[in-house]
Structure 1
Amino acid sequence: MAIKFKALIGFTRMKDDELMVTAATIIGAMTDNVHFEQPTPELATVQELLDDFSAKLSAARRRGSPEETALKNESRLPLEAALRQLAYYVNSVTEGHLSTLLSSGFPTNGAGGSVQVPLKVEGVKLGDGRQSGQMRLDFDKQRNVLLYEYQYRLQGENEWSERFATSSSRANIIAPLMAAERYEVRVRALNTQGTGDWSDHATMIVR
């Protein structure tokens, strides 16, 4: 019996990071995609919901209060609802055509395990930013990854900074930092299948 391919609409069991990566992947894949000319809801609306969820997630992790966690959980619900609605739209347009479906960025029942958990990030390099108290972070790009996370700390300290997200493997600026101090940085990659291992630490003295 032939499989009818479709975008999966279940998001409630996804971890917060996984949901954020999935939403960002979908928005990036569907933007200017000729197959999806009138997405419902509009991608700008989904992006606003993602930005709100991302901000509240960062606040909850930074402060960890019950109120911040509740606000984060509340902001997740409309994002899940928008993604479900967008999945229905994608399924109605693609009508089971796998290559078109995959171009949407949605996880599908026909991906066949082609996307795997990211590898450990390699090639992490630090350099001077344009101003004193800045570092530039670069690392090797991976396939099937739309989001990376990085953290930094003064070398010798136990606690890392909060996690910062970026979609670029080049020219990430870390600031403000204390001049003449040595910092260390680590990076990891995320996709819809999970989170990769943290990279080896890269260190440098900030000018």
Structure 2
Amino acid sequence: MAQKFRTLIGFSKHSVQQLVATAGAVIQGMTGNKAFPCPSPDLTAVQAALDELNAAIAAQPHGGAKATADKNNKREALIGVLQKLAQYVQLHCGNDLAVLLSSGFSAASTSRTQVPLPKPAIVSVDNGNTTELLVKVSRVGQAKCYELRSAAIGAGGAPGPWQTGGLFTNSRSIAINGLTPGITYAIQARAVGSSKRYSDWSDPVTHMCM
């Protein structure tokens, strides 16, 4: 499926200075631009809304609450004009990113790349009940839960097959059960996020089950 380019229209999140700069860039980019011969709203409306906002900004420092309210109203008016013009640009750019950007508007991000989860660290391992180890894992932001696994350490010091210990939502108190007293185990943890995202496994920590 072809990538769909869209104009960035989140002007309500702009500061006043960013909004003024955007309007100026759009007026400059669309003046005489053959890709957009009949802008709607026309550029005189954009310029008028920009001039009114600039005048309101200049009057605010000495105008009190009334001047502030007027500036906010003029800001919303300019946002409305820019949003309508951004829709016009999106409809008439032919899904060509270079043409869209020539208007002075920015393009909305098309990246959906998810940031990988950082791997947790095992903070401590303590003995619980017989056949049980209690594990504390460092908290990872955006983690929904934590998965643990354990492996018995063999005679040569190498871990045997890894056994899953389950999923846990509380990183501060995780119990691994069904272990054999007198056996040393290697333990690892990883964070689990949304959309089946997993962090790398933590560095292993060893502890003898008592």
TM-score (norm 2): 0.50
> For 1:65-104, what aligned pairs fall within 5 Å after superposition?
65-104=64-103
RMSD: 1.7
2:6 matched residue in structure 1: 6
- Measured at CA, do residues 111 and 3 of structure 1 come closer, stay the same or move farther in structure 2, by a change above 3 Å? closer
Distance 2:7 2:99 in 1: 11
Percent pairwise identity: 40
Conserved 8 A contact 1:98-1:110: no
> For 1:1-207, what aligned pairs fall within 5 Å after superposition?
2-60=2-60, 62-63=61-62, 65-109=64-108
What residue identity is the alignment partner of 1:38? C
How many residues align structurally?
Answer: 111
1:110 Cα deviation (Å)? 5.2
Distance 1:45 1:2 in 2: 34
Structure 1 runs of 4+ with >6 Å offset: none
Gaps of 5+ in 2: 112-210
Gaps of 5+ in 1: 113-207
Q: Summarize deviations over 1:163-207 as a string: whole Å, max 9, x none.
A: xxxxxxxxxxxxxxxxxxxxxxxxxxxxxxxxxxxxxxxxxxxxx
Distance 1:47 1:23 in 2: 8
Structure number with bigger Rg: 2
What residue identity is the alignment partner of 2:102? S
Distance 2:78 2:108 in 1: 21
What residue identity is the alignment partner of 2:24? A
What secondary structure does 1:66 align onto? helix
Bigger relative CO (Cα 8 Å, ≥ 6 apart): 1
Conserved 8 A contact 1:90-1:104: yes
Q: Summarize deviations over 1:107-152 as a string: whole Å, max 9, x none.
A: 112599xxxxxxxxxxxxxxxxxxxxxxxxxxxxxxxxxxxxxxxx
